[in-house]
Chain A
Amino acid sequence: MREMVCINCPIGCNLKVYGDSEDSIRVEGNKCPRGEKYGRDEVLSPRRMVTSSIPLRKDEKTGIFEMVSVKTESAVPKGLIFQVLSEIKKVKLKAPVEVGDVILKNVSGTGIDVVATQKREQ
């Protein structure tokens, strides 16, 4: 049995997950179906959303970078977080950027895209 805190919402249910295979897993303590899924995933293959921000352009007067925030469209395998981050770091962006623009397709071969979460005008 493993104890964990569900990270899906601010309630943070204390979960007890019994078993360690697809068929034998049983989740207790969850207040909603998302907790059930989280408990299962956490034991079978834990996943996390990754968010970051990357430079768009530099203001020559102030030397301050204008950044754009980005996220993976859904959770990626936990073990790939730092690989995903380093791929995101290499992306060169150009304005304009809209919320939801795909800035990196199929990051680290996960089949998941990285999208912009901030709007930046020309």
Chain B
Amino acid sequence: MNKYRVDIAVIGGGPAGLAAAMSAHEQGIHPSKILIIERDNVLGGILNQCIHNGFGLHIFKKELTGPEYAQRYIDMVEGADIHCLLNTMVLNIDPKTGENGSSYKIYATSMKEGVIEVSAKAIVLAMGCRERPRGALNIPGTRPSGIYTAGTAQRLVNVEGKMPGKNFVILGSGDIGLIMARRLTFEGAKVHCVAEIQPKSGGLQRNIAQCLDDFDIPLLLSHTVTEIHGKERLEGVTITKVDENLKPIEGTAKYWPCDTLLLSVGLIPENEVSKTAEIEILDSTGGPEVDERLETSRKGIFACGNVVHVHDLVDHVTEQAYAAGRSAAEYVKNAECVKNAECVKKAECVKKEETENN
């Protein structure tokens, strides 16, 4: 089994992971002592499929597309020579490791290396989030093909060059759903409507303006899909108006023929790996409980980005990841300080370093 020993392991190579790694490096951690573990074959995470513009206004004062925003951080990380393992999936963090300042052990797997063990003094969790699937909605009806989450459809169209259908209905007015309504229209498909169960859209106002209104796509507020029709392939959906308690109102059902239904009904922080390390997860956010330094309930394990809670803007993810990277770097430096024989107490040592820095 291949073994890696590093100061900081970053799990996830999307915007959060890239910025956290870069930040730790800027705090003086040697690039060979930082390891980014990414399950996809490229860095950049979900930004690679977000080909629309609107990213980076806060940080770069410029409107970039997702791939451009990602490339800026990929260039920084590669320029700094920070080591990355691609096509590598983290399986678990051994919960029995990491006690009293010892290293954590992470187990991961890849086609190239098989199972690997990574010993890390600190960990930054940056796994992002995933979409709520059909199963989370309990929509009655058949189970035909032609039902996708909006993000899956986005990947198919933008990254793999495949159209998932011709006639679309979108359930949920999250930003990815709105962006996809425009994208599919651009590729020649017909988007018949977007149904939103709430009386108000969950997406940004500007996306309703530029993705729906521009192309006369109706947004049906207080409406939801109440039945799915079709045996092999989706043939249509029933959309019904709901009352203030989100219950369908009798007599308002309407049949909408379509071959594809996209779901844009929310995102959930992806914390399966966090749970293996026995980290406290909050019910309210679905992400780990973190303090102001982004440290989780386990000392030396930090978290940032959409794995903590779902952010509206990638700029905010980057800012939070920089803070987490700094905290992880400080944690590693303090731990080294404690080990140093000259330092009798950690407090003294930290104090000494602070004076030197000033």
Contact = CB atoms under 8 A, between A and B. Distances in A.
A30 interface: no
Nearest to B160: A64
Q: Sort chain A's interface into a size bin.
A: 20 to 34
Interface in B149-167: 157-162
Nearest to A55: B161
Contacts, number: 77
B206 interface: yes
Contacts of B81: none
B344 to A, nearest CB: 51
Interface stretch (A20-28, A44-52, A102-110): A44-52
Given A48-B214, A67-B159, A6 B52 contact: no
A43 to B, nearest CB: 14
A55 B214 CA distance: 26
A67 B42 CA distance: 13
A80 interface: no
Interface in A3-48: 4-10, 12, 14, 48
B51 A53 contact: yes
A56 B52 CA distance: 18
Contacts of B206: 5-10, 12
A5 B211 CA distance: 12
B199 interface: no
B286 to A, nearest CB: 22
Of listed A9, A10, A82, A99, residue having the most chain B CB within 10 A = A10
Interface in A87-119: 99, 117-119
Interface string B123-159: 0000000000000000000000000000000000111
A50 B65 CA distance: 11
B269 to A, nearest CB: 21
A5 B210 CA distance: 9
B312 A99 contact: no
Contact of A10 (B67, B161, B210, B313): B313
A118 B209 contact: no
B208 A118 contact: no
Contact of B205 (A12, A52, A67, A85): A12
B312 A10 contact: yes
B98 to A, nearest CB: 37
Nearest to B159: A67
Interface string B43-59: 00000100111100100
Interface of B: 48, 51-54, 57, 63-68, 71, 157-162, 186, 204-206, 208-210, 214, 312-313
Q: Sorted from nearest, which 9 A-B pairs have the closest CB atoms?
A: A12-B205, A65-B161, A69-B51, A7-B206, A118-B67, A12-B206, A5-B209, A117-B65, A7-B210
17 contacts: A7-B210, A8-B206, A10-B54, A10-B57, A10-B313, A12-B204, A51-B51, A51-B52, A53-B51, A65-B162, A67-B160, A67-B161, A71-B65, A78-B214, A81-B186, A99-B71, A118-B68
